[in-house]
Protein backbone atom coordinates (compact mmCIF):
# COMPACT_ATOMS: atom_id res chain seq x y z
CA UNK A 1 0.00 0.00 0.00
CA UNK A 2 2.77 2.39 0.94
CA UNK A 3 4.61 1.68 -2.28
CA UNK A 4 1.49 2.18 -4.38
CA UNK A 5 1.07 5.61 -2.80
CA UNK A 6 4.67 6.79 -2.80
CA UNK A 7 6.30 5.00 -5.71
CA UNK A 8 4.94 7.07 -8.65
CA UNK A 9 6.19 10.32 -7.15
CA UNK A 10 9.46 8.75 -6.00
CA UNK A 11 10.09 7.21 -9.43
CA UNK A 12 9.52 10.57 -11.16
CA UNK A 13 11.89 12.26 -8.73
CA UNK A 14 14.56 9.63 -9.27
CA UNK A 15 14.17 9.83 -13.05
CA UNK A 16 14.04 13.61 -13.44
CA UNK A 17 15.95 14.96 -10.44
CA UNK A 18 18.44 12.37 -9.12
CA UNK A 19 19.43 10.83 -12.42
CA UNK A 20 20.10 14.20 -14.12
CA UNK A 21 22.47 15.35 -11.39
CA UNK A 22 24.67 12.28 -11.91
CA UNK A 23 24.24 12.42 -15.68
CA UNK A 24 25.15 16.11 -15.69
CA UNK A 25 28.45 15.38 -13.94
CA UNK A 26 29.15 12.72 -16.57
CA UNK A 27 28.39 15.20 -19.38
CA UNK A 28 30.74 17.70 -17.80
CA UNK A 29 33.66 15.36 -18.49
CA UNK A 30 32.89 15.26 -22.23
CA UNK A 31 33.70 17.37 -25.22
CA UNK A 32 30.28 17.11 -26.76
CA UNK A 33 28.20 19.24 -29.10
CA UNK A 34 24.49 19.12 -28.28
CA UNK A 35 22.67 16.95 -30.82
CA UNK A 36 25.85 15.27 -32.01
CA UNK A 37 26.15 11.48 -31.58
CA UNK A 38 29.88 11.77 -30.92
CA UNK A 39 31.48 12.82 -27.66
CA UNK A 40 35.06 12.52 -26.49
CA UNK A 41 36.14 12.12 -22.89
CA UNK A 42 38.20 15.11 -21.75
CA UNK A 43 38.39 14.51 -18.02
CA UNK A 44 38.39 17.75 -16.11
CA UNK A 45 39.21 19.70 -19.27
CA UNK A 46 35.97 21.69 -19.23
CA UNK A 47 36.57 22.76 -15.64
CA UNK A 48 40.16 23.77 -16.46
CA UNK A 49 38.85 25.81 -19.39
CA UNK A 50 36.30 27.50 -17.17
CA UNK A 51 38.69 28.42 -14.39
CA UNK A 52 41.42 29.64 -16.72
CA UNK A 53 39.38 31.74 -19.15
CA UNK A 54 39.14 35.47 -18.60
CA UNK A 55 35.43 35.57 -19.49
CA UNK A 56 34.76 33.24 -16.54
CA UNK A 57 36.18 35.75 -14.09
CA UNK A 58 33.71 38.27 -15.49
CA UNK A 59 30.85 35.76 -15.20
CA UNK A 60 31.71 34.97 -11.58
CA UNK A 61 31.96 38.69 -10.84
CA UNK A 62 28.58 39.36 -12.48
CA UNK A 63 27.07 36.48 -10.50
CA UNK A 64 28.49 37.87 -7.25
CA UNK A 65 27.35 41.46 -7.95
CA UNK A 66 23.87 40.35 -9.04
CA UNK A 67 23.44 38.09 -6.00
CA UNK A 68 24.73 40.60 -3.44
CA UNK A 69 22.80 43.55 -4.88
CA UNK A 70 19.51 41.70 -5.31
CA UNK A 71 19.68 39.95 -1.91
CA UNK A 72 20.70 43.15 -0.14
CA UNK A 73 18.24 45.33 -2.07
CA UNK A 74 15.23 43.04 -1.53
CA UNK A 75 16.01 42.64 2.15
CA UNK A 76 16.60 46.31 2.98
CA UNK A 77 13.50 47.45 1.09
CA UNK A 78 11.56 44.46 2.42
CA UNK A 79 12.46 45.40 5.99
CA UNK A 80 11.49 49.05 5.46
CA UNK A 81 8.13 47.98 4.03
CA UNK A 82 7.66 45.48 6.88
CA UNK A 83 8.28 48.20 9.46
CA UNK A 84 5.59 50.33 7.85
CA UNK A 85 3.19 47.37 7.58
CA UNK A 86 3.81 46.56 11.24
CA UNK A 87 2.15 49.83 12.28
CA UNK A 88 -1.13 47.95 11.88
CA UNK A 89 -3.06 50.96 10.70
CA UNK A 90 -6.14 50.31 8.53
CA UNK A 91 -5.24 49.40 4.95
CA UNK A 92 -2.02 47.51 5.66
CA UNK A 93 -3.65 44.22 4.59
CA UNK A 94 -4.22 45.58 1.09
CA UNK A 95 -0.72 47.09 0.99
CA UNK A 96 0.82 43.77 2.05
CA UNK A 97 -0.96 41.93 -0.76
CA UNK A 98 -0.10 44.60 -3.35
CA UNK A 99 3.59 44.62 -2.47
CA UNK A 100 3.74 40.81 -2.53
CA UNK A 101 1.94 40.44 -5.86
CA UNK A 102 4.91 40.74 -8.28
CA UNK A 103 6.44 37.69 -6.62
CA UNK A 104 3.79 35.43 -8.18
CA UNK A 105 3.83 36.96 -11.67
CA UNK A 106 5.50 35.53 -14.78
CA UNK A 107 9.12 36.68 -15.04
CA UNK A 108 8.71 36.85 -18.81
CA UNK A 109 5.65 39.13 -18.64
CA UNK A 110 7.26 41.30 -15.97
CA UNK A 111 10.50 41.52 -17.95
CA UNK A 112 8.69 42.73 -21.09
CA UNK A 113 6.79 45.38 -19.14
CA UNK A 114 10.01 46.73 -17.64
CA UNK A 115 11.78 46.68 -21.01
CA UNK A 116 9.14 49.11 -22.21
CA UNK A 117 9.64 51.26 -19.09
CA UNK A 118 13.45 51.27 -19.43
CA UNK A 119 13.58 51.74 -23.24
CA UNK A 120 16.16 54.50 -23.84
CA UNK A 121 14.28 56.09 -26.73
CA UNK A 122 10.56 55.73 -25.89
CA UNK A 123 10.44 54.43 -22.31
CA UNK A 124 8.42 56.23 -19.67
CA UNK A 125 11.46 56.33 -17.36
CA UNK A 126 13.37 58.32 -19.98
CA UNK A 127 10.41 60.68 -20.38
CA UNK A 128 10.36 61.33 -16.63
CA UNK A 129 14.12 61.86 -16.52
CA UNK A 130 13.97 64.29 -19.46
CA UNK A 131 11.18 66.17 -17.73
CA UNK A 132 13.48 66.84 -14.77
CA UNK A 133 16.34 67.76 -17.09
CA UNK A 134 18.40 64.55 -16.84
CA UNK A 135 19.53 62.53 -19.82
CA UNK A 136 18.32 58.99 -20.51
CA UNK A 137 20.87 56.33 -19.61
CA UNK A 138 21.29 53.63 -22.27
CA UNK A 139 20.10 50.65 -20.25
CA UNK A 140 20.05 48.40 -23.32
CA UNK A 141 23.57 48.82 -24.70
CA UNK A 142 25.76 49.71 -21.72
CA UNK A 143 26.64 46.38 -20.00
CA UNK A 144 26.87 47.93 -16.53
CA UNK A 145 23.53 49.68 -16.90
CA UNK A 146 21.98 46.47 -18.21
CA UNK A 147 23.03 44.75 -15.00
CA UNK A 148 21.61 47.65 -12.98
CA UNK A 149 18.33 47.31 -14.88
CA UNK A 150 18.10 43.55 -14.23
CA UNK A 151 18.86 44.09 -10.54
CA UNK A 152 16.17 46.78 -10.20
CA UNK A 153 13.50 44.59 -11.78
CA UNK A 154 14.55 41.55 -9.77
CA UNK A 155 14.36 43.52 -6.51
CA UNK A 156 10.96 44.93 -7.57
CA UNK A 157 9.71 41.39 -8.10
CA UNK A 158 11.09 39.89 -4.90
CA UNK A 159 11.07 42.56 -2.18
CA UNK A 160 7.46 41.70 -1.22
CA UNK A 161 8.55 38.22 -0.21
CA UNK A 162 11.19 39.62 2.15
CA UNK A 163 8.63 42.14 3.45
CA UNK A 164 6.10 39.44 4.37
CA UNK A 165 8.75 37.27 6.07
CA UNK A 166 10.14 40.26 8.00
CA UNK A 167 6.62 41.32 8.98
CA UNK A 168 6.01 37.90 10.53
CA UNK A 169 9.30 38.26 12.38
CA UNK A 170 8.37 41.73 13.65
CA UNK A 171 4.99 40.53 14.82
CA UNK A 172 6.62 37.82 16.92
CA UNK A 173 8.58 40.42 18.94
CA UNK A 174 6.78 40.91 22.26
CA UNK A 175 5.30 44.39 22.60
CA UNK A 176 6.42 44.82 26.22
CA UNK A 177 10.04 44.46 25.13
CA UNK A 178 9.67 47.48 22.87
CA UNK A 179 7.72 49.39 25.50
CA UNK A 180 10.38 48.63 28.12
CA UNK A 181 13.03 49.94 25.78
CA UNK A 182 11.01 53.10 25.18
CA UNK A 183 10.47 53.57 28.93
CA UNK A 184 14.22 53.35 29.43
CA UNK A 185 14.42 56.46 27.29
CA UNK A 186 15.85 54.77 24.20
CA UNK A 187 15.12 56.62 20.98
CA UNK A 188 13.20 54.87 18.23
CA UNK A 189 16.33 54.36 16.15
CA UNK A 190 18.24 53.04 19.17
CA UNK A 191 15.44 50.59 19.92
CA UNK A 192 15.49 49.49 16.30
CA UNK A 193 19.23 48.86 16.10
CA UNK A 194 19.76 47.53 19.64
CA UNK A 195 16.57 45.52 20.17
CA UNK A 196 14.57 44.91 16.99
CA UNK A 197 17.37 44.13 14.54
CA UNK A 198 19.16 41.62 16.83
CA UNK A 199 15.85 39.86 17.52
CA UNK A 200 15.26 39.63 13.76
CA UNK A 201 18.66 38.07 13.10
CA UNK A 202 17.30 34.52 12.58
CA UNK A 203 14.83 35.89 10.03
CA UNK A 204 17.62 37.88 8.38
CA UNK A 205 19.78 34.80 8.15
CA UNK A 206 16.97 32.73 6.67
CA UNK A 207 16.30 35.43 4.07
CA UNK A 208 19.94 35.81 3.10
CA UNK A 209 20.27 32.09 2.38
CA UNK A 210 16.95 31.58 0.59
CA UNK A 211 17.26 34.81 -1.39
CA UNK A 212 20.81 33.97 -2.44
CA UNK A 213 19.61 30.55 -3.60
CA UNK A 214 16.88 32.22 -5.67
CA UNK A 215 19.16 34.90 -7.11
CA UNK A 216 21.72 32.30 -8.18
CA UNK A 217 18.91 30.59 -10.12
CA UNK A 218 17.42 33.75 -11.66
CA UNK A 219 16.83 33.05 -15.33
CA UNK A 220 13.55 34.40 -16.73
CA UNK A 221 14.30 38.12 -16.40
CA UNK A 222 17.82 37.81 -17.79
CA UNK A 223 16.66 35.73 -20.75
CA UNK A 224 13.81 38.03 -21.76
CA UNK A 225 15.41 41.42 -20.97
CA UNK A 226 19.01 40.80 -22.07
CA UNK A 227 19.01 37.74 -24.37
CA UNK A 228 22.63 38.33 -25.41
CA UNK A 229 23.71 38.51 -21.80
CA UNK A 230 26.07 41.46 -22.30
CA UNK A 231 26.98 42.46 -18.74
CA UNK A 232 24.28 40.18 -17.33
CA UNK A 233 25.66 36.69 -17.89
CA UNK A 234 25.59 34.95 -14.53
CA UNK A 235 26.62 31.31 -14.01
CA UNK A 236 23.18 29.94 -14.79
CA UNK A 237 22.81 32.08 -17.90
CA UNK A 238 26.26 31.03 -19.09
CA UNK A 239 25.22 27.36 -18.68
CA UNK A 240 22.11 28.07 -20.76
CA UNK A 241 23.91 30.07 -23.48
CA UNK A 242 26.67 27.49 -23.88
CA UNK A 243 24.23 24.61 -24.44
CA UNK A 244 21.29 26.32 -26.13
CA UNK A 245 22.93 29.39 -27.64
CA UNK A 246 24.90 29.41 -30.88
CA UNK A 247 27.73 27.04 -29.95
CA UNK A 248 25.83 24.08 -28.39
CA UNK A 249 28.80 23.22 -26.17
CA UNK A 250 26.89 20.73 -24.02
CA UNK A 251 29.89 19.31 -22.14
CA UNK A 252 31.15 22.74 -21.16
CA UNK A 253 27.63 23.85 -20.20
CA UNK A 254 27.30 20.79 -17.96
CA UNK A 255 30.56 21.75 -16.23
CA UNK A 256 29.25 25.28 -15.59
CA UNK A 257 25.97 23.99 -14.17
CA UNK A 258 27.84 21.48 -12.01
CA UNK A 259 29.85 24.37 -10.55
CA UNK A 260 26.58 26.24 -9.94
CA UNK A 261 25.10 23.15 -8.35
CA UNK A 262 28.07 22.82 -5.98
CA UNK A 263 27.51 26.43 -4.94
CA UNK A 264 23.81 25.82 -4.31
CA UNK A 265 24.56 22.69 -2.26
CA UNK A 266 26.87 24.69 0.00
CA UNK A 267 24.19 27.33 0.57
CA UNK A 268 21.54 24.69 1.22
CA UNK A 269 23.70 22.83 3.72
CA UNK A 270 24.30 26.07 5.59
CA UNK A 271 20.54 26.65 5.66
CA UNK A 272 19.74 23.10 6.81
CA UNK A 273 22.30 23.24 9.60
CA UNK A 274 20.83 26.48 10.79
CA UNK A 275 17.25 25.20 10.65
CA UNK A 276 18.25 22.11 12.61
CA UNK A 277 19.87 24.26 15.30
CA UNK A 278 16.76 26.36 15.56
CA UNK A 279 14.47 23.40 15.92
CA UNK A 280 16.61 21.97 18.72
CA UNK A 281 17.57 24.99 20.72
CA UNK A 282 15.16 27.76 19.93
CA UNK B 1 0.01 46.05 47.14
CA UNK B 2 -3.35 47.66 46.65
CA UNK B 3 -4.68 48.31 43.25
CA UNK B 4 -3.30 51.29 41.43
CA UNK B 5 -5.33 53.21 38.93
CA UNK B 6 -3.40 53.22 35.71
CA UNK B 7 -4.22 55.98 33.29
CA UNK B 8 -6.18 54.60 30.38
CA UNK B 9 -4.05 54.35 27.25
CA UNK B 10 -4.90 57.16 24.84
CA UNK B 11 -7.19 56.10 22.06
CA UNK B 12 -5.13 56.12 18.92
CA UNK B 13 -7.71 57.42 16.55
CA UNK B 14 -8.31 60.55 18.58
CA UNK B 15 -4.77 61.61 19.11
CA UNK B 16 -3.51 64.08 16.52
CA UNK B 17 0.07 63.11 17.23
CA UNK B 18 -0.44 59.43 16.67
CA UNK B 19 -2.40 60.18 13.54
CA UNK B 20 0.49 62.22 12.17
CA UNK B 21 2.82 59.48 13.28
CA UNK B 22 0.78 56.85 11.44
CA UNK B 23 0.78 58.97 8.29
CA UNK B 24 4.55 59.55 8.19
CA UNK B 25 5.74 56.16 9.37
CA UNK B 26 3.14 53.94 7.74
CA UNK B 27 1.02 55.55 5.04
CA UNK B 28 3.69 57.54 3.21
CA UNK B 29 6.18 54.68 2.80
CA UNK B 30 3.41 52.19 2.03
CA UNK B 31 1.88 54.47 -0.55
CA UNK B 32 5.26 54.86 -2.25
CA UNK B 33 5.83 51.09 -2.19
CA UNK B 34 2.37 50.28 -3.53
CA UNK B 35 2.68 52.87 -6.32
CA UNK B 36 6.09 51.55 -7.33
CA UNK B 37 4.69 48.03 -7.46
CA UNK B 38 1.43 48.82 -9.22
CA UNK B 39 2.58 51.46 -11.71
CA UNK B 40 4.31 49.08 -14.16
CA UNK B 41 1.26 46.80 -14.13
CA UNK B 42 -1.06 49.72 -14.75
CA UNK B 43 1.28 51.02 -17.48
CA UNK B 44 1.26 47.60 -19.14
CA UNK B 45 -2.53 47.38 -19.15
CA UNK B 46 -3.12 50.92 -20.43
CA UNK B 47 -0.35 50.71 -23.03
CA UNK B 48 -1.77 47.49 -24.45
CA UNK B 49 -4.75 49.61 -25.64
CA UNK B 50 -2.62 52.36 -27.20
CA UNK B 51 -2.22 52.74 -30.98
CA UNK B 52 1.29 52.68 -32.42
CA UNK B 53 1.58 56.49 -32.50
CA UNK B 54 1.03 56.67 -28.75
CA UNK B 55 3.59 53.91 -28.12
CA UNK B 56 6.36 55.41 -30.24
CA UNK B 57 6.52 58.82 -28.64
CA UNK B 58 8.91 60.75 -26.45
CA UNK B 59 6.05 62.19 -24.43
CA UNK B 60 3.86 59.27 -23.43
CA UNK B 61 0.50 59.93 -21.76
CA UNK B 62 -0.85 57.68 -19.02
CA UNK B 63 -4.22 57.07 -20.63
CA UNK B 64 -4.67 55.92 -24.23
CA UNK B 65 -5.97 58.91 -26.22
CA UNK B 66 -7.53 56.74 -28.91
CA UNK B 67 -8.02 53.34 -27.25
CA UNK B 68 -7.80 50.39 -29.60
CA UNK B 69 -7.60 46.61 -29.46
CA UNK B 70 -5.34 46.44 -32.51
CA UNK B 71 -2.37 45.24 -30.42
CA UNK B 72 -4.33 42.16 -29.38
CA UNK B 73 -5.34 41.57 -33.00
CA UNK B 74 -1.72 41.84 -34.15
CA UNK B 75 -0.60 39.39 -31.46
CA UNK B 76 -3.21 36.96 -32.75
CA UNK B 77 -1.78 37.37 -36.27
CA UNK B 78 1.84 36.85 -35.28
CA UNK B 79 1.13 33.91 -32.97
CA UNK B 80 -1.55 31.23 -32.95
CA UNK B 81 -2.63 33.14 -29.87
CA UNK B 82 -5.78 31.25 -28.87
CA UNK B 83 -3.87 28.02 -29.28
CA UNK B 84 -0.91 29.26 -27.22
CA UNK B 85 -3.24 30.45 -24.46
CA UNK B 86 -5.06 27.10 -24.54
CA UNK B 87 -1.69 25.29 -24.38
CA UNK B 88 -0.84 27.19 -21.22
CA UNK B 89 -4.22 26.38 -19.68
CA UNK B 90 -3.92 22.71 -20.62
CA UNK B 91 -0.34 22.24 -19.44
CA UNK B 92 -1.11 24.08 -16.20
CA UNK B 93 -4.33 22.18 -15.49
CA UNK B 94 -3.02 18.70 -16.28
CA UNK B 95 0.40 19.28 -14.72
CA UNK B 96 -1.01 20.80 -11.53
CA UNK B 97 -3.75 18.17 -11.16
CA UNK B 98 -1.29 15.28 -11.39
CA UNK B 99 1.23 17.01 -9.15
CA UNK B 100 -1.31 17.70 -6.42
CA UNK B 101 -2.66 14.13 -6.59
CA UNK B 102 0.87 12.72 -6.33
CA UNK B 103 1.61 15.03 -3.40
CA UNK B 104 -1.57 13.96 -1.58
CA UNK B 105 -0.85 10.25 -2.10
CA UNK B 106 2.79 10.56 -1.08
CA UNK B 107 2.04 12.62 2.01
CA UNK B 108 -0.75 10.23 3.07
CA UNK B 109 1.57 7.26 2.67
CA UNK B 110 4.35 8.96 4.60
CA UNK B 111 2.09 9.87 7.51
CA UNK B 112 -0.62 7.21 7.80
CA UNK B 113 0.78 3.96 6.37
CA UNK B 114 3.24 1.83 8.30
CA UNK B 115 6.47 1.28 6.38
CA UNK B 116 10.15 0.95 7.33
CA UNK B 117 12.54 3.89 6.83
CA UNK B 118 9.75 6.38 6.15
CA UNK B 119 11.78 9.29 7.47
CA UNK B 120 14.66 8.40 5.22
CA UNK B 121 12.37 8.25 2.22
CA UNK B 122 10.96 11.65 3.14
CA UNK B 123 14.48 13.05 3.50
CA UNK B 124 15.40 11.65 0.09
CA UNK B 125 12.38 13.43 -1.40
CA UNK B 126 13.27 16.68 0.34
CA UNK B 127 16.83 16.62 -0.95
CA UNK B 128 15.44 17.19 -4.44
CA UNK B 129 14.25 20.64 -3.40
CA UNK B 130 17.93 21.44 -3.63
CA UNK B 131 18.24 20.23 -7.24
CA UNK B 132 17.52 23.32 -9.31
CA UNK B 133 15.72 22.67 -12.60
CA UNK B 134 18.66 24.22 -14.43
CA UNK B 135 21.05 21.51 -13.33
CA UNK B 136 18.67 18.84 -14.58
CA UNK B 137 18.09 20.71 -17.85
CA UNK B 138 20.58 19.06 -20.23
CA UNK B 139 20.07 15.43 -19.10
CA UNK B 140 16.28 15.81 -19.14
CA UNK B 141 16.44 17.51 -22.53
CA UNK B 142 18.53 14.67 -23.91
CA UNK B 143 16.22 12.02 -22.45
CA UNK B 144 12.92 13.62 -23.45
CA UNK B 145 14.03 14.41 -27.00
CA UNK B 146 15.35 10.85 -27.36
CA UNK B 147 11.91 9.58 -26.31
CA UNK B 148 10.27 11.82 -28.91
CA UNK B 149 8.91 14.33 -26.40
CA UNK B 150 10.11 17.52 -28.11
CA UNK B 151 7.15 19.68 -29.16
CA UNK B 152 4.62 17.48 -27.33
CA UNK B 153 2.40 18.16 -24.34
CA UNK B 154 3.70 15.19 -22.38
CA UNK B 155 7.23 16.35 -23.09
CA UNK B 156 6.46 19.67 -21.40
CA UNK B 157 4.61 18.16 -18.47
CA UNK B 158 6.37 14.90 -17.55
CA UNK B 159 9.79 15.96 -16.16
CA UNK B 160 8.24 18.42 -13.70
CA UNK B 161 5.68 16.05 -12.19
CA UNK B 162 7.68 14.70 -9.26
CA UNK B 163 6.89 16.95 -6.35
CA UNK B 164 8.69 17.56 -3.10
CA UNK B 165 7.25 20.96 -2.18
CA UNK B 166 3.58 19.92 -2.14
CA UNK B 167 4.44 16.66 -0.39
CA UNK B 168 6.27 18.64 2.28
CA UNK B 169 3.40 21.07 2.97
CA UNK B 170 0.78 18.30 3.03
CA UNK B 171 2.85 16.00 5.24
CA UNK B 172 3.29 18.81 7.77
CA UNK B 173 -0.46 19.31 7.78
CA UNK B 174 -1.44 15.62 7.92
CA UNK B 175 0.75 15.19 10.99
CA UNK B 176 -1.36 17.72 12.86
CA UNK B 177 -4.56 15.69 12.38
CA UNK B 178 -5.67 13.86 15.56
CA UNK B 179 -4.97 10.09 15.25
CA UNK B 180 -8.38 9.37 16.82
CA UNK B 181 -9.99 10.68 13.64
CA UNK B 182 -8.47 7.91 11.59
CA UNK B 183 -8.73 5.25 14.24
CA UNK B 184 -12.49 5.69 14.30
CA UNK B 185 -12.64 5.24 10.53
CA UNK B 186 -10.37 2.21 10.74
CA UNK B 187 -12.65 0.61 13.36
CA UNK B 188 -15.54 1.20 11.00
CA UNK B 189 -13.66 -0.96 8.54
CA UNK B 190 -12.70 1.84 6.16
CA UNK B 191 -9.69 1.04 3.94
CA UNK B 192 -6.97 3.52 3.07
CA UNK B 193 -8.82 4.86 0.05
CA UNK B 194 -11.96 5.61 2.09
CA UNK B 195 -9.89 7.05 4.95
CA UNK B 196 -8.10 9.34 2.54
CA UNK B 197 -11.14 10.51 0.58
CA UNK B 198 -13.76 10.56 3.37
CA UNK B 199 -11.72 11.61 6.40
CA UNK B 200 -8.34 13.14 5.61
CA UNK B 201 -9.15 15.16 2.49
CA UNK B 202 -12.34 16.82 3.74
CA UNK B 203 -10.62 18.17 6.84
CA UNK B 204 -7.53 19.18 4.83
CA UNK B 205 -9.30 21.10 2.08
CA UNK B 206 -7.66 24.48 2.82
CA UNK B 207 -4.13 23.04 2.75
CA UNK B 208 -4.81 21.05 -0.42
CA UNK B 209 -6.24 24.21 -1.99
CA UNK B 210 -3.14 26.17 -1.01
CA UNK B 211 -0.84 23.55 -2.53
CA UNK B 212 -3.01 23.47 -5.67
CA UNK B 213 -2.96 27.27 -6.04
CA UNK B 214 0.80 27.54 -5.68
CA UNK B 215 1.33 24.65 -8.09
CA UNK B 216 -0.98 26.26 -10.65
CA UNK B 217 0.83 29.60 -10.46
CA UNK B 218 4.20 27.84 -10.73
CA UNK B 219 3.17 25.80 -13.77
CA UNK B 220 1.60 28.80 -15.51
CA UNK B 221 4.78 30.87 -15.16
CA UNK B 222 7.21 28.02 -15.85
CA UNK B 223 9.64 29.11 -18.54
CA UNK B 224 13.05 27.46 -18.82
CA UNK B 225 11.91 23.90 -19.54
CA UNK B 226 9.15 24.74 -22.08
CA UNK B 227 11.59 27.18 -23.72
CA UNK B 228 14.10 24.45 -24.56
CA UNK B 229 11.71 21.57 -25.29
CA UNK B 230 9.29 23.50 -27.55
CA UNK B 231 10.17 25.10 -30.87
CA UNK B 232 6.90 24.99 -32.85
CA UNK B 233 4.62 27.99 -32.27
CA UNK B 234 1.58 25.68 -32.17
CA UNK B 235 2.91 23.93 -29.07
CA UNK B 236 4.21 26.96 -27.19
CA UNK B 237 2.99 28.05 -23.79
CA UNK B 238 2.44 31.77 -23.17
CA UNK B 239 5.88 32.68 -21.76
CA UNK B 240 7.58 30.89 -24.68
CA UNK B 241 5.21 32.48 -27.20
CA UNK B 242 6.01 35.91 -25.74
CA UNK B 243 9.71 35.22 -26.23
CA UNK B 244 9.02 34.61 -29.91
CA UNK B 245 6.95 37.80 -30.02
CA UNK B 246 9.81 39.80 -28.47
CA UNK B 247 12.30 38.44 -30.98
CA UNK B 248 11.86 41.18 -33.61
CA UNK B 249 14.20 43.63 -35.32
CA UNK B 250 12.25 46.73 -34.47
CA UNK B 251 11.16 46.23 -30.90
CA UNK B 252 9.94 49.77 -30.39
CA UNK B 253 7.14 49.12 -32.88
CA UNK B 254 6.26 45.87 -31.09
CA UNK B 255 5.86 47.19 -27.54
CA UNK B 256 2.09 47.50 -27.90
CA UNK B 257 1.87 43.82 -28.83
CA UNK B 258 4.30 42.86 -26.10
CA UNK B 259 2.14 44.67 -23.54
CA UNK B 260 -0.94 42.84 -24.84
CA UNK B 261 0.93 39.54 -24.53
CA UNK B 262 2.09 40.44 -21.02
CA UNK B 263 -1.51 41.20 -20.05
CA UNK B 264 -2.44 37.69 -21.19
CA UNK B 265 0.19 36.02 -19.02
CA UNK B 266 0.01 38.35 -15.99
CA UNK B 267 -3.64 39.31 -15.54
CA UNK B 268 -5.06 35.77 -15.01
CA UNK B 269 -2.57 35.18 -12.17
CA UNK B 270 -3.29 38.64 -10.78
CA UNK B 271 -7.02 37.90 -10.66
CA UNK B 272 -6.45 34.60 -8.85
CA UNK B 273 -4.04 36.34 -6.51
CA UNK B 274 -6.43 39.17 -5.64
CA UNK B 275 -9.17 36.65 -4.83
CA UNK B 276 -7.04 34.24 -2.79
CA UNK B 277 -3.98 36.22 -1.72
CA UNK B 278 -4.11 35.13 1.92
CA UNK B 279 -3.77 31.44 1.03
CA UNK B 280 -1.13 32.04 -1.63
CA UNK B 281 1.05 34.22 0.58
CA UNK B 282 0.70 31.83 3.52
CA UNK B 283 1.62 28.81 1.38
CA UNK B 284 4.62 30.49 -0.23
CA UNK B 285 6.04 31.74 3.05
CA UNK B 286 5.11 28.72 5.17
CA UNK B 287 8.57 27.24 5.63
CA UNK B 288 9.86 30.49 7.05
CA UNK B 289 6.96 31.90 9.02
CA UNK B 290 5.73 28.77 10.70
CA UNK B 291 7.59 28.28 13.96
- What is the predicted pLDDT for the residue at B287? 57
Three-class secondary structure of residue A33 per DSSP: strand
Nearest chain B Cα to A271, which residue? B130
Complete DSSP assignment for B45-80:
HHHTTS-HHHHS-SS--SS-SS---HHHHHHHHHS-
Type and span of the H or E element at A126: helix A124-131
> Mind telling me how many Å the CA of B2 is from chain A's nearest CA?
23
- What is the predicted pLDDT for the residue at B157? 96
- What is the predicted pLDDT for the residue at B245? 94
Task: Out of A21, A109, A121, name the one closest to residue B262 (CB).
Answer: A109
Closest CA to B158 of B225, B238, B209: B225
Ranges of beta strands (E only) in chain A are 30-32, 39-41
User: Of all residues in chain B, what percent carry a pLDDT higher than 70?
Assistant: 93
Task: Out of A8, A104, A220, name the one closest to residue B280 (CB).
Answer: A104
Site from B28, B75, B127, B138 to mutate, A interface, most A CB atoms within 10 angstroms: B138
Task: Out of A27, A77, A108, name the one closest to residue B139 (CB).
Answer: A27
> Mind telling me how many Å the CA of A233 is from chain B's nearest CA?
15
- What is the predicted pLDDT for the residue at B291? 36
Query: What does DSSP assign to residue B6?
Result: P
> How far is C-alpha A73 from the geometric centre of its chain's CA atoms?
11
User: Of all residues in chain B, what percent carry a pLDDT higher than 90?
Assistant: 62
Task: Out of A104, A114, A161, name the one closest to residue B40 (CB).
Answer: A114
Q: What's the mean pLDDT when you consider all of chain B?
A: 89
Lowest mean pLDDT among A130-134, A137-141, B17-21: B17-21
Per-residue confidence band for B14, with pLDDT thresholds at 50, 70 and 90: low
Nearest chain B Cα to A250, which residue? B138
> How far is C-alpha B236 from the geometric centre of its chain's CA atoms?
19
Per-residue confidence band for B163, with pLDDT thresholds at 50, 70 and 90: confident
Per-residue confidence band for A125, with pLDDT thresholds at 50, 70 and 90: very high
**Is pLDDT of A279 > 90?**
no
**Is pLDDT of B290 > 70?**
no
Report yes or no: B274 and A97 within 8 Å, Cβ to Cβ.
yes
Task: Out of B55, B162, B265, name the one closest to residue A108 (CB).
Answer: B265
Span B25-36, mean pLDDT? Answer: 90
**Between B2 and B213, the higher pLDDT residue:** B213
B285–A107 C-beta distance less than 8 A: no
B40–A236 C-beta distance less than 8 A: no
Instruction: Give the pLDDT confidence of B105-146 residue by residue, as tens digits.
Output: 999 999 998 888 888 999 888 888 777 788 899 999 999 999
Nearest chain B Cα to A254, which residue? B138
Report yes or no: A215 and A207 within 8 Å, Cβ to Cβ.
no
Span A62-74, mean pLDDT? Answer: 97
Instruction: Give the pLDDT confidence of B223-236 residue by residue, as tens digits.
Output: 999 999 999 999 99
Span A256-267, mean pLDDT? Answer: 91
Nearest chain B Cα to A268, which residue? B130
Nearest chain A Cα to B275, which residue? A97
A113–B238 C-beta distance less than 8 A: no
Give the Cα separation of A143 and A61 in Å (integer): 13
A109–B261 C-beta distance less than 8 A: yes
**Is pLDDT of B98 > 70?**
yes
Q: What's the mean pLDDT when you consider all of chain A?
A: 90
User: Of all residues in chain A, what percent carry a pLDDT higher than 70?
Assistant: 97
Lowest mean pLDDT among A105-114, B12-21, B77-86, B203-212: B12-21
Nearest chain B Cα to A257, which residue? B135
Instruction: Give the pLDDT confidence of B237-259 residue by residue, as tens digits.
Output: 999 999 999 998 888 889 999 99
- What is the predicted pLDDT for the residue at B1? 40
Which residues in chain A have Cβ-Cβ distances shorter than 8 Å to B36? 156
- What is the predicted pLDDT for the residue at A276? 62
- What is the predicted pLDDT for the residue at B25? 79
Give the Cα separation of B253 and B239 in Å (integer): 20
A243–B138 C-beta distance less than 8 A: yes
Amino acid sequence: MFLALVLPNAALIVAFAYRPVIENIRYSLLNWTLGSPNATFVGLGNYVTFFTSSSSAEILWTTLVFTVVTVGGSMVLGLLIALALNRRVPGTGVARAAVFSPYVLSGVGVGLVWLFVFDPSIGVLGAVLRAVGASTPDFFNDPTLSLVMICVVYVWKNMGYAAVIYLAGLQSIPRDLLEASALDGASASRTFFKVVLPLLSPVTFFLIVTSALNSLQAFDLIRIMTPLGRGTTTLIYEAYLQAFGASNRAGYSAAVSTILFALLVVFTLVQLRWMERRVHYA
Amino acid sequence: MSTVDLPAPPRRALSARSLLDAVTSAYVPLLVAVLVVLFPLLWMTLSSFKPLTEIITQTPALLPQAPTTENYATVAERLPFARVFANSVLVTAVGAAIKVALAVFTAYGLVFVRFPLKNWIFAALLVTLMVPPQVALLPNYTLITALGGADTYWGIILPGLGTAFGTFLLRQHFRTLPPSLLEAAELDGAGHWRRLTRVVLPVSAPTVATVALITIVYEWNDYLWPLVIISQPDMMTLPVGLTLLANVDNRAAAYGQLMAGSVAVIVPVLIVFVALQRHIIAGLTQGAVKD
